[in-house]
Amino acid sequence: MKRIVSAVVVLFLMVGIGTIYASSNSAQNLSTWYNDLFQKRSEILGSETASHFIVGIADFSLFVKQSMESLDMNIEDMGDNQLEKTNSTINAHRSELIDSVNEAAELQDVSFDDYVSNRNIEAEILLEVEAMLEELLNE
């Protein structure tokens, strides 16, 4: 008899628990659990994404700053080199012009008649040397 009474009590308990479970909204409980879990995971993912994004922007900003400094130095070096080349070219041309002016001044001091007579003397000497060589070769 004890067995029958215990079996009936267990049966009523099972029916009661089944009724309570059936009357509850298990889909709502599952949905609430999922939404809570999703919200927590979304917050974690969002904060990690934001922190990595901020770090990435800071790194990119540093890269741009270093690139600009490097470009500034390169431009300055190129400008200095070009200025040095230009100055050396100008100095070379200036020296050539000064030499040309000095040469022109020297030419003004020399008489053209003296130059012509010197050239005539050189031509006469050349003719005489040729004549002497011709006489020697003919003998």
**What is this structure's pTM?**
0.42
- Tokens representing 118? 């010197």
- The full length of the chain comes to 139
pLDDT exceeding 70 applies to what percent of the chain?
82
- In this predicted model, what pLDDT tens digit does every residue of 86-130 receive, in sequence order? 999 999 999 999 988 888 777 776 666 666 667 777 878 888 888
